[in-house]
Structure 1
Amino acid sequence: MSIVKRIYRELSELGRHEHEFKLESYNKRFTCAGCKKQGFGSRYKCEHCSYELHPECKCRKPTVTHDFFPGSVFEFLEQPHILGSCGRICDACGKDIHGFVYHCRANDWDLHPCCSKLEKELRIDDTDFILCDKVTSKCMWCKNKKLCGTTSHVPGWSYVSGCGKYHFHVCCVAKMEHKAWHWVEVDESGSGSGTVKIFLKIIVAILFITLGCVLFDVVSK
């Protein structure tokens, strides 16, 4: 069975899902049955099936807007291939879209459900970060201006400090979280989310040592 057919079947089954989902939180990674991206912590879980959904994918809306695209409306679609082309790319993180997507028909923009929730402005330890699509500095995590690990030409979004000194790609925030949760899963102490916070503090201390900020509050949104 081709990947497209398999995804179509899974999404069709999800659309007809009759069991109730319960909001749970585990210190384990999971693959969302909706958007197909990995998730952490809180998820809606079916007690009878293997379905697990990001809160953003479970509580999806017919249409959404985003402050980054004033006046644009994004329509929720369960099956990205109905747009008539393959290889849809999220304009926020630059990663492939394999499942649920918010699509703007007027401008041919796409967003993962989780990416549609990104805040336009963040405040971390008295420092303001603005969501941008054009940057002049290197990301403090991957050390590149452009997204790495992707073949797309989508520039992706970044958070840049008001002073212009600090910059990190949206997709690199997810990589930081992946790293932290990996450490939790191999941690035999079973200290759970407390361990996540500790490792994230370490990561942030390396990236923003002059700020001393705690990124956990950002990536947990």
Structure 2
Amino acid sequence: MKLYEEPPAVISSDAHPAHKLKLQVTTDGPPFRCDGCKEPGGGKERRYSCDAGCDFDLHTTCALASPTLKHPLFGGDVEFELLPSAPPPVDATYCDACGDRARGLVYHCFDRDLDLHPCCAALRMESVVHGGHLLKLCGEAELRCVVCGEKQGRRQSSSSSKRFWAYRWCYDGVTGYLHVACMKKIAVMSWEQDYKDGVGGGVVEASVTIMEGMLRRRSPTGNAGSGSGVELGIRGLENITKIVEVVSAVSSS
């Protein structure tokens, strides 16, 4: 008995009705930009590509997205509808998970005027990683992010009071947070470096150097320069990179 169903090998999509889309299991190409949500993806990620040779690619998450969605972080009475493009005003539509612009395929709640990138909507709520540490997706960071040093998160949204999603983890009894937006930025940097170096490393391997440099300047409790915080940040590096691995796996599964 299979524990997980494999995605279909070939699909049809309204986003590219002229041709079938074929599942690309492995690639060695550069990072790509999904033609659905317009968000980046890793060069080694599984994706759906035009079977006729058109330059058209979709994250598996976007290609197989359900037409409606309810998310635990917004409660059971909030329903999102999948739209082919951001609702007007397009220039003012931002993902309420990461804070980045929603430029293409997006989940939108008309009642609450909320928006989610499909890949953000698909993030796992909880995951247990190496050592039995629990990672939990939260609606906001209660402490400063170990990467950007802010609670609200670095975002493109003009809303100064808006806070965005973060993963919380506990290491040696101390809690730390990592914004989804910061995680995405690290993933993109790692994909680009991986392709340039041709070393074959994944998101975690390629992001270790980047994250270590950031963590040396930030402590999980938000006190930059704190000796104990720096030590904790370095010791917790493995667990933070595991968070990145978990999130990256969503778009490649």
Verify same fold: TM over 0.5.
Answer: yes
Report the TM range for the smaller structure's normalisation: 0.7 to 0.9
TM-score by length of 2: 0.72
| Structure with more relative contact order (C-alpha pairs < 8 Å, separation 6 or more) | 2
Q: Return closer, same or farther for 1:14/1:30 CA change in 2, 3 Å cut-off.
A: farther
Residue 151 of structure 1 deviates from its aligned partner by 3.8
In structure 1, the residue matched to 2:199 is 191
Does structure 1 residue 217 correspond to structure 2 residue 222? Answer: no
Hey, what's the Cα distance between the residues in 1 that align with 2:212 and 2:129? 13
Q: 1:137 to 1:51 in 2, by over 3 A?
A: same
Instruction: Give the Cα separation in 2 of the matches to 1:107 and 1:57.
Output: 22
- Sort the Cα spacing of 1:164 and 1:92 in 2 relative to 1 into closer, same or farther, 3 A: farther
112-121 or 197-206: bigger deviation: 197-206
CA contact (8 A) 1:94 1:152 kept: no
The letter for the 1-side match of 2:169 is S
* Structure 1 letter corresponding to 2:39: K
The letter of the residue matching 2:63 is K
Distance 1:100 1:210 in 2: 38
- How much does 1:201 deviate? 4.1
SS at match of 1:179: helix
SS at match of 1:60: coil
Partner of 1:132: 138
Secondary structure, aligned partner of 1:19: coil
Listed one character per residue, the Cα deviations across residues 78-128 of structure 1 (whole Å, up to 9, x for unaligned) are 1223x5664111000001111001111222111001011012223233222
Q: Which runs of 5+ in 1 are unaligned?
A: 1-12
Residue identity matched to 1:63 = T
- CA offset at residue 53 of structure 1? 0.5
Q: Where does residue 65 of structure 1 map in the other structure?
A: 70
Q: What is aligned with 2:27? A: 26
Q: 1:52 to 1:70 in 2, by over 3 A?
A: same
* Structure 1 residues 79 and 197: alpha-carbon distance in aligned structure 2, compared to 1, 3 A threshold: closer
TM-score in terms of structure 1 length: 0.81
Which of 95, 106, 113 is matched with 1:108 structurally? 113
Structure 1 pair 164/18, CA: closer, same or farther in 2 (3 Å)? farther
Q: Is the 8 A contact 1:89 1:152 kept in 2?
A: no
Write the distance in 2 (CA, Å) between the matches of 1:151 and 1:32: 21
Q: For the Cα contact (< 8 Å) 2:155–2:181, is it kept in 1? A: no
Identify the residue that residue 104 of structure 2 maps to in structure 1: 99
Pair 107,113 (structure 1): closer, same or farther in 2 beyond 3 Å: same
Residue 74 of structure 2 aligns to a residue whose secondary structure is: coil
Question: Which runs of structure 2 are paired with 1:1-221 in the superposition (5 Å)?
Answer: 15=15, 17-24=17-24, 25-27=26-28, 28-40=30-42, 41-47=45-51, 48-71=53-76, 72-81=78-87, 83=88, 86-125=91-130, 126-153=132-159, 154-162=162-170, 165-187=175-197, 190-192=198-200, 194=201, 196-203=203-210, 207=215, 208-211=233-236, 212-213=238-239, 214-215=241-242, 217-218=245-246, 219-221=248-250
Distance 1:108 1:149 in 2: 18
Over the residues paired in the alignment, what is the CA RMSD in angstroms?
2.4
Distance (whole Å) between structure 2 residues aligned to residue 29 and residue 127 of structure 1: 30
Change (3 A) 1:61 1:136: closer
